[in-house]
Amino acid sequence: MKKIITCVDGSAYSDAVCNAGIWAARKLDKAILFLHAIEKKNTAEIEDLSGAIGLGARSSLLHEMASLDEKRSKLALEVGKEMLGHACDLAAERGCEVIEKTQRHSDIVEAICDLESDARLVVIGRSGESHGQNFKALGSHIEQIIRQVHTPVLIANKDFSEPKSFMLAYDGRATADKAVKRIIDGGLLHNMVCHLVTVKNSQSGLMDKFKHTEKLLVESGFEVRSSFLEGNIFSALTEYKANNEVEMLVMGAFSHSKLAKAFLGSNTLKMIENTHLPLIILR
C-alpha cells in the first residue's frame, strides 16, 4: 500500500505538517507514515583535537566532550520518539486507521528518497526547526526534495486546515499536462473548486491548451474558474490568489533542463517563499 510520508521535527510547522498528512491520508484512504530524521551535527571529532597544541594534557575535557555528544544523541532519539508518538496519537484521534512511524539517522532528503518507493505523497514543512518562527526562512531541503523526489510533495503552511479550493498554475508545458493528469487521476483534490490560471508565455498554442485543460477538468467533475492572464508570471499569480478565494496552490515540478531550472528558481521557489498557503508540487 502506498503511504503518506509525513515529516515531523521540532519546527514551528510540525503540527501543521501532521494535520496536512492526516488530511491527505484520510482523503486518499492510505496509511500514514510519520518520519523523523536525526541529522548529524557538525561537531569536532575528538581525534581531530587530540593533537592540537595545549590540548594533549586535557584529555578529561576531550572525554567530557565525547560524553556530551553521546548524551545529545540519546536525547535526540528520545525527543524524536516523543514527537512521533504525539503525531501517531493525533492521527488516531482524527480517524486514521493505518498509522506507522520511523526514525532515521540521516539527512531528511536521503531518508525520503529511501522511502519513496512506498510513497503516495510526501508532506513537509516549508522550513526546519533551526529556523524557529521565521516565516521567510526556506529550508534548504525544500529545493533538493523537489528536484530529487518524483512523488508529489505537499508543503504545509503554518496554519494548515482542510482546503476547499486550489489554484492550478498552468503554463502549457508537458510537465503541466502531467500535473493535470495527476490531479484528475489522483483523488486528493477532488470535490474542490479549481482555479485554473495561465499567464501568457512563449509556449505555442497556449490558449488552445488552456481551453483543452479547462474542458478536461470540467468533464472530470471539477468546478472550474479559469483565467488567462498577462504580465509577469510571479506577480500575476500572486495578485490572482490574493484577490480570489484560493486556499491551496498546485504547480508542476520541472525537468532538469537549464530552462526548467531557471523557471523553477524564478517562479516556483518564489511562490513557496512568499505564500502563506499550502502548496503541492506535482511531477
DSSP string, 171-207: -SSHHHHHHHHHHHHH-TTTTSEEEEEEE--S-TTHH
User: Looking at residue 40, what is its pLDDT?
Assistant: 67
Q: In this structure, are 172 and 151 located in the same domain?
A: no
User: End of a domain among 134, 156, 178?
Assistant: 156
Domain residue limits at 225? 165-282
User: Looking at residue 59, what is its pLDDT?
Assistant: 66
User: Looking at residue 3, what is its pLDDT?
Assistant: 96
Q: In this structure, are 18 and 114 located in the same domain?
A: yes
Q: In this structure, are 93 and 140 located in the same domain?
A: yes
User: Looking at residue 48, what is its pLDDT?
Assistant: 53
Residue 11 lies in a domain: yes
Q: What is the CATH number of the domain that holds 178?
A: 3.40.50.620
Distance CA 55, CA 62 (A): 8
Q: In this structure, are 134 and 254 located in the same domain?
A: no
Q: In the chain, how many domains are there?
A: 2
pLDDT in tens, the chain (283 residues): 799 999 998 777 788 999 999 999 999 999 999 999 987 654 444 455 555 545 555 566 666 766 777 677 777 778 888 999 999 999 999 999 999 999 998 889 999 999 999 999 999 987 644 444 444 444 567 778 887 888 999 999 888 999 999 999 898 888 889 999 999 999 999 999 999 999 988 888 999 999 999 999 999 999 999 999 999 888 898 899 999 989 999 987 654 444 344 444 456 667 777 778 999 988 7
Q: In this structure, are 174 and 150 located in the same domain?
A: no
Q: Please report where in the chains the cell 530529487 appears, as a residue.
A: 148
Q: In this structure, are 121 and 251 located in the same domain?
A: no
Q: In this structure, are 97 and 144 located in the same domain?
A: yes
Q: Residue 111: name the closest of 41, 42, 43, 39 by CA.
A: 39
Residue 183 lies in a domain: yes
User: Looking at residue 10, what is its pLDDT?
Assistant: 74
Beta bridge partners of 225: 195
